[in-house]
Structure 1
Amino acid sequence: MKMPMGVTIHDAELLIQFRSPDTKEKAFTAIIKKYQEKLYWHIRRMVVDHEDANDVLQNVFIRVWNGLENFREDSQLYTWLYRIATNECLSFLDQQKRKSTLTLDESESGLSNKLIADKHFDPNKLEWKLQLAIQQLPEKQRLVFNLRYYDEMPYEEMSRVLDTSEGALKASYHHAVKKIEDYILNH
């Protein structure tokens, strides 16, 4: 079933193809092509470092390969992928904290230090100030802010990804925005 150039296959069709032994690998490759960039940037905003983001993304796709056959389609495919990516990010960050003998505050500032160490870092540019401000947020607020601000994910969808009420997500986002505004104004 060859598609014309520029035409994307819908997720439902990809899932059907994935469940067929003859087209499983081709369908998985198409899923990767369709979602890897969005997932990479979602992960990168959480873990900061490019190499770490690639490692986490690889783990995400391993989990997807192993679990896609059992995907019940209770939610959209991208919601399921974001949930896996989010869980992998949180697991990675948790492992980093456990490996480190630092306090939680020092561990959190480690992400800021990675950002500052980036060869393109310019503290005078607003985009870098924004990134530094985001890194100061608690993990949950950072995650909610990134999903809403960068991925423009609706609260309803975010609620399914994070298994949290829409009201709690709106409050988290509101607090995150206030903290970011304060950081940018005072630094």
Structure 2
Amino acid sequence: MLEEQTLLEDLKQTETQTRAFETLVNTYKERLYWHIRGIVLNHDDADDVLQNTFIKVYRNITNFKGESKLYSWMYRIATNESLSFLKSKSKKMGVSNVELQETLLNNLESDVYFEGNEIQLKLQKAIATLPEKQKLVFNMKYFQEMKYEEISEILETSVGALKASYHLASKKIETYIKEN
């Protein structure tokens, strides 16, 4: 992709780096925010993780080899930052990951930035019961409408494994919604 190549070159040149990074942030901040928000659930936490993600991207852009799309590389960073954030938060609170998810879901109902209705809240609760990988795959496929090939590049796993994870996640969510 020519535009991405030009952007990468500009990001690696001292004289064009600032402008190129602004372009990068403006191009990807919303998509990355919603990806992160789907993992951490809380608006303020998502903002913090997004900021950390862009700091990491900025610091490491010169090491980016172009073996994947820039977008996929940033999503991978955002995913890892989100998961590290949750792990750190559960440790600080002295609770398990499951207990943290329950707390985040309970807080979601009172979150002024959550505009969902009862059905969307039930869907979020169902998603929270999934194992981490299934949760990531489901969010990326269902909410962000990403192709399996893109998800495969980000999560560094096969398309077949992703399809299986998505299928299992969908069945578990369906069962959860029927039973609750």
Q: Is the 8 A contact 1:109 1:136 kept in 2?
A: no
Deviates more, 1:55-64 or 1:172-181: 172-181
Cα 1:24–1:94, aligned 2, differ >3 Å: closer, same or farther? same
Shift in Å, 1:120: 7.0
* 1:71 maps onto 2:64 in alignment: yes
Residue 56 in 1 paired to residue 49 in 2?
yes
Aligned with 1:153: secondary structure? coil
- Which of these two proteins has the greater Rg computed from alpha carbons? 1
User: Is structure 2 residue 168 aligned with structure 1 residue 172?
Assistant: no
1:121/1:34 Cα in 2 relative to 1: closer, same or farther (>3 Å)? closer
Give the superposed CA RMSD.
1.9
| Structure 1 position 118, deviation (Å) | 2.2
Provide the residue aligned with 2:141 in structure 1: 148
In 2, distance between residues paired with 1:124 and 1:50?
Answer: 17
Question: Partner residue of 2:156?
Answer: 163
Q: Kindly provide the amino acid, as one letter, of the partner of residue 41 in structure 1.
A: W
Structure 2 residue 84 is the aligned partner of structure 1 residue 98? no
Inter-partner Cα distance in structure 2 for 1:122 and 1:79: 28
* 1:48-85: CA deviation from partner (whole Å, max 9, x where unpaired): 11000000000000000001112111111100010000
In the superposition, relative to structure 1, how do residues 186 and 21 fare at CA in structure 2: closer, same or farther (>3 Å)?
A: same
The offset of 1:119, in angstroms, is 4.2
**Aligned pairs, how many?**
179
CA distance in 2, matches of 1:154, 1:72: 23
Equivalent position of 1:185 in the other structure: 178
Tell whether 2:140 aligns with 1:110.
no
Mean Cα displacement is larger for which, 44-53 or 103-112? 103-112
Which of 128, 136, 153 is the matching residue for 1:135? 128
Relative to its length, the structure with more helix (as a share) is: 2
Q: Which moved more, 1:24-33 or 1:126-135?
A: 126-135
Distance 1:43 1:104, change over 3 A: closer
Q: Is the 8 A contact 1:97 1:107 kept in 2?
A: yes
Higher relative contact order (CA 8 A, sep 6+): 2
Contact 1:115/1:132 (8 A) holds in 2: no
Give the TM-score normalised by the residue count of structure 1. Answer: 0.88
How many angstroms apart in 1 are the aligned matches of 2:120 and 2:8?
Answer: 38
Q: Deviations over 1:132-169 (max 9, x none)?
A: 22122222211110111112222222122112222222
Unpaired stretches in structure 2, ≥5 consecutive residues: none
What 5-or-longer segments of structure 1 have no aligned partner?
1-8
Q: CA deviation at 1:182?
A: 1.4
Distance of aligned partners of 1:120 and 1:154 in 2 relative to their CA distance in 1, 3 Å threshold: closer
